[in-house]
């Protein structure tokens, strides 16, 4: 499982001109599910998202987590995070999980974060979405449950 986590002051996602999710301060999370991902992969990503200490404390140091600041998450499923562009110019997506599996893990990740009392807004799985955000910092963190990077 892979995630791109961006610290934001605000973010939103819309489908066909209708807003499906919007947050203030927190994280914009793009989530890609890989073939064979399981509970441990999902928990690794979610624990990192909940606990990443990238928000500034009173001294201006990145020392606070999403939970510390009472932030929110906007989570959008994005299979293209599993794109392999090492050969040629057209990425291969064969490592991405099939849609049914990916959606199930995506929904479990959303629920896991909500169980930690983190407000989570979402996009629409497999929809053509427009995502807007204001990256704060900018701060962007890449996560991979298989620790490829």
Q: Which two tokens stand for residue 19?
A: 């807003």
Which residues lie below 8 Å from residue 100, measured CB to CB, with a gap of 6+? Answer: none
Q: What are the Cα distances from residue 111, in Å, to 8, 21, 63, 104, 147? A: 21, 15, 26, 11, 23
Q: Give yes or no: 20 in active site.
A: no
Q: Which two tokens stand for residue 24?
A: 């203030």
The answer as to whether 56 is a domain residue is: yes
Residues 21, 25: Cα–Cα separation, whole Å: 13
Tokens 């599993």 belong to 82
CATH number of the domain to which 83 belongs = 3.50.80.10
Q: What is the pLDDT of residues 16-33, one digit of tens each?
A: 999 999 999 999 999 999
Across the chain, mean pLDDT equals 97
Containing structural domain, residue 39: 2-143
Catalytic residue among 6, 34, 55, 79: 79
* Total domain count, the chain: 1
The answer as to whether 148 is a domain residue is: no
Catalytic residue among 39, 80, 126, 140: 80
Q: Give yes or no: 80 in active site.
A: yes
The answer as to whether 46 is a domain residue is: yes
pLDDT range class, residue 148, cuts 50, 70, 90: confident
The answer as to whether 149 is a domain residue is: no
Q: Give the predicted TM-score (pTM) of the model.
A: 0.96
List b or e across 7-39, with b for residues whose CB sees 16 or more CB atoms inside 10 angstroms. Answer: bbebbbbbeeeeebbebebbbbbbbbbbeebee
Which pLDDT score is estimated for 149?
Answer: 77
The answer as to whether 116 is a domain residue is: yes
């Amino acid at each position: 499982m892979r995630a791109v986590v961006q610290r934001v002051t605000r973010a939103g996602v819309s489908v066909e001109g209708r807003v499906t999710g919007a947050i203030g301060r927190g994280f914009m999370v793009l989530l890609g599910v890989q073939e064979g991902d399981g509970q441990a992969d999902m928990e690794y990503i979610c624990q990192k998202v909940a606990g990443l200490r990238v928000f500034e404390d009173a001294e201006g140091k990145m020392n606070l987590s999403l939970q510390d600041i009472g932030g929110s998450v906007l989570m959008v499923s994005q299979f293209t995070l599993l794109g392999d562009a090492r050969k040629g110019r057209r990425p291969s997506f064969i490592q991405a999980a099939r849609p049914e599996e990916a959606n199930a893990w995506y929904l479990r990740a959303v629920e896991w974060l909500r169980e930690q009392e983190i407000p989570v807004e979402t996009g629409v799985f497999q929809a053509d979405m427009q995502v807007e955000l204001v990256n704060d910092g900018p701060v962007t963190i890449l996560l991979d449950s298989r620790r490829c990077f």
